A and B are shown apart, each in its own frame.
Chain A
């Protein structure tokens, strides 16, 4: 440490200035010795405690992406085809959320963000504030939020602890989102032992706005006033950003003060007040939400983006606790607050809006010349730092990577190590899959979410993609949304697994009639300082980046959550992908359920033949093993183009992609909206694998089931042949209430749809209602 600059500190009104900065204190703040040396170099002196705290949160993984920044540069951030719909208006990393064009002068802002660690400790509040945070990111852009989704990951539902987490997370999301009145369109949920002590809670929000209404988070115009809006600051959530950048341990429960408490009513007021304020022409210069690292992050980021200085006085910050020191005020993560820079001379206009909504609008500072972020408290300067050094000069690491042994083993796996499936066992195997919580109906979850508020819900949760009508913007278009990531494949082959997540997400949109426009991703990984974990992170990012480039679907923002470990275990790599797509015409909206008898059921993409990584291996043998199914992006594109084309022609009545559980699960799911329906199906051969299990339960990629009426059948079949696609008519839907299937001339299944439906729909409620 630098000894020259230590001099006896004068007694000071703010106790944070009187604390001696020791190596222990630096370590407690999660800064490495070399990082602290960099701080000393930047400042040319020893920081005080408040300044140390500011560096610590701004340079945490959560805010600075220390370990991933280099990797994230691999993602394409704009479209190569400049003539297509979906051009990027605000790129990833520029602002609080990315914005894409959806035509007619409208844009969509959307982003996903994690709240994993808080949810592990306090599931209800953790998940609720996760929703609150992402919603603020969207309306900060000037957008009216129009939908929410979540990607959730939990351990096995057999565990009482997991049930508690699951119930808490779902009710936290339900409570917060429903009160805000933003439809929650579901998302995706997986259950796997690897998430036992470390659940994942990723929340997405999308909003709509006119191009000219896009707001920026920059502090510009020297002399412009800086306002703090929202409820008062308390001691909750102190240092949440650095908390999120550590592994979870048994002691994490003691970190409870780092978990924030949400107030959805306050957020609703803030949302309406901010939108009302931003609708006043020329009033708002810059706006930024106080999320991770609260007042610290919002002041230095707005100053840095505006290439300005900024000065604030903490005595003017509304506080709901007495005796808070500058460290606490700067690092508090109290929820539902924003920083707004308005045009000088128009202070009364912002005050009027917030008074209407009974919220604080406190004038706490000013935009200054230069590049310093200056913070005053009780008449003295408590922080004086170069803003850009906090946002742009955080250390960036390239970690050593090495391939974990299990990946090589997965590549070398031999399908013959799996005992073959007898015909007699098919029904039982199917039922086991339908009862697995990952595959079973998620209605228990989404019926707790208000998905119909705002009157736009066009396809409710439970189909391949959720669809909302953009009626609130007064335009006749629909936005489709899907989240995806099968961790099993990412564990077995990170590069391909990430591409599978991408391809499936896009396929889900295609099944609903939508063309994908852009991606937001949430990279949930383990400790990057462990070479094997870093290898998986790196490979997943590469796989995603290559898929994005291939499909010309850019990444417009997202989030990284590292250190997802608990005790001895790390989570599987889980790069959650979420995509939005556009459906121009109402008649193109397609759902995944067959609604009539006498529909031709057709498999596009060829017979499945790969068993590696499948849920069948899990439910039959309890194994997460095998070679990850192959991904052929060119074939995938052909299938999706074909889907969109035939949906456009009005030939497709229902479409459902094959995913977890494979062909037979997908067929059953298509019949579940009306269990009076049945199907009479036959497949001529066992296909490439020559195995019943791989055919029926294998999870080969790029496969879709569609239902087609007789009058369109020939055209659909011919069109597929012309496109060079493998297409197979399996049979027809019936009114028998039975699913019948024969393979290579042998009847292998004749099962009551109602019975299967019951297993599938009751699996999760049964576990949750008897706990």
Chain B
């Protein structure tokens, strides 16, 4: 197992993430229960979407106290690759692994749509060479409205930590932010669901380059044959 997909009570995109990484990309991946230790052979972690602990109190606010979060923090501090998708993004923000917070959509309703997303020309690995610049990715959330203090936001922008932006803001996020990375460049968070755009019957195949780009560091020394195109 190379990719650990965390499973909290209430996670519900854990199977989807495993399917995309394991079945579609062919990279060994498995779900890891929140009360278990993070396996030592883990090379990358995906914190999947869902409603961890029912999203009671605040999205991700309870999950950040789960036993596995201690392991996740040290994994991230040691440069481990972490991707939080949707509720996973919210958990990473609550845990302080990513800056900012995600609050209720400005339309006050849940939104499940196929969203146009622009990939930022930043010094991250999700650059348009890999992703083609503009993507169609599903979003499905009630709390995706990204917020950050003005000063921190300026820093996020000037550091080129903004990864993905909405084309047409579906939730009121500041600066149309759909996905970010941490300063070190190893922890990523995004509201769109790349794992829902990997099959011919999905709205697009644009999740593939996103997941491949995230997994590139482990792909480069992987024994598994994968064409990153």
Contacts and interface: CB of A to CB of B under 8 A. Distances in A.
B16 A179 contact: no
Nearest to A455: B16
B56 A265 contact: yes
Contact of B110 (A178, A265, A472): A178
Contacts, number: 94
Interface stretch (A41-49, A200-208, A445-453): A445-453
Interface stretch (B125-133, B155-163, B195-203): B195-203
Contacts of A471: 19, 199
Interface string A144-183: 0000000000000000000000000001001100111100
A452 B19 CA distance: 14
Contacts of B56: 265
A742 interface: no
A181 B140 contact: no
Interface residues of A, number: 35
A264 interface: yes
A388 interface: no
A176 B194 CA distance: 24
A264 B195 CA distance: 24
Interface string A663-695: 000000000000000000000000000000000
B15 interface: yes
Contacts of A478: 201
Contact of B111 (A448, A460, A589): A448
B138 A448 contact: no
Interface in B161-181: none
Interface string A210-233: 000000000000000000000000
A319 interface: no
A178 B51 contact: yes
A734 to B, nearest CB: 26
A179 B15 contact: no
Interface stretch (B6-14, B39-47, B91-99): B6-14
A341 to B, nearest CB: 25
A713 interface: no
Interface centre among A358, A446, A471, A586 (most CB of B within 10 A): A471
Contacts of B196: 452-453, 455
Given A454-B16, A472-B15, A265 B53 contact: yes
Nearest to B9: A269
A703 interface: no
A451 B112 contact: yes
A301 interface: no
B140 A179 contact: no
Contacts of B140: 178, 450, 452-453
Interface string A727-754: 0000000000000000000000000000
Contacts of B198: 455
Given A265-B56, A447-B111, A448-B111, A453 B201 contact: no
A16 B175 CA distance: 63
A106 interface: no
A551 interface: no
B10 A469 contact: no
B54 A455 contact: no
A455 B20 contact: yes
Chain A facing B: main interface SS: helix
Nearest to B17: A455
A452 B20 CA distance: 14
Contacts of A337: none
Size range of the interface on B?
A: 20 to 34
B54 A181 contact: no
Nearest to B7: A272
A449 B140 CA distance: 8
A469 B201 contact: yes
A448 B113 CA distance: 9
A457 B138 CA distance: 11
Contacts of B50: 181
Contacts of B35: 356
A716 B13 CA distance: 43
A642 interface: no
Contacts of B111: 447-448
A539 interface: no
Contact of A450 (B10, B112, B199): B112
Contacts of B112: 178, 446-452
Nearest to A472: B15
A313 interface: no
A266 B109 CA distance: 22
Centre residue among B20, B35, B53, B109 by max chain A CB count within 10 A = B109
B12 A448 contact: no
Contacts of B15: 454-455, 472
Interface in B16-41: 16, 19-20, 33, 35
A449 B113 CA distance: 10
A264 B51 contact: yes
A263 interface: yes
A223 B115 CA distance: 57
A478 to B, nearest CB: 8
Interface in A242-266: 263-266
Quick one: which of A180, A457, A589 has the most chain B CB within 10 A? Answer: A457
Interface in A492-523: none
A453 B53 contact: no
B51 A268 contact: yes
B53 A455 contact: no
Interface in A415-471: 446-455, 457-458, 460, 469, 471
A356 B36 CA distance: 11
A588 B33 CA distance: 39
A452 B10 contact: no
B120 interface: no
Contacts of A174: 109-110
A178 B203 CA distance: 19
Contact of A447 (B53, B113, B201): B113
A263 B54 contact: yes
A357 B19 CA distance: 23
Contacts of B200: 586
A589 B9 CA distance: 35
B183 interface: no
A469 B195 CA distance: 15
Given A449-B112, A450-B140, A452-B193, A469 B13 contact: no
Contacts of A586: 200-201
Contacts of A450: 110, 112, 140
A394 to B, nearest CB: 38
Given A265-B10, A447-B111, A455 B51 contact: no
Contacts of A175: 110
B13 A453 contact: yes
B20 A268 contact: no
Contacts of A180: 12
Contacts of A449: 110, 112
Interface string B42-68: 000000011101111000000000000
Contacts of A358: 9
B12 A453 contact: yes
**Among A181, A264, A448, A452: residue with most chain B CB under 10 A:** A452
B142 to A, nearest CB: 8
A605 B13 CA distance: 44
Interface of A: 171, 174-175, 178-181, 263-266, 268-269, 356-358, 446-455, 457-458, 460, 469, 471-472, 478, 586, 589
Given A179-B55, A268-B54, A469-B199, 8 more contacts: A178-B112, A181-B12, A356-B35, A446-B112, A452-B140, A455-B199, A457-B201, A472-B15
* Minimum-distance CB pairs A-B, first 9: A181-B12, A265-B54, A458-B201, A179-B51, A455-B16, A450-B140, A448-B110, A450-B112, A452-B138
12 contacts: A265-B56, A268-B12, A448-B109, A448-B110, A450-B110, A450-B112, A452-B112, A453-B13, A455-B19, A455-B199, A472-B15, A478-B201
Interface of B: 9-10, 12-13, 15-16, 19-20, 33, 35, 49-51, 53-56, 109-113, 138, 140, 142, 193, 195-196, 198-203
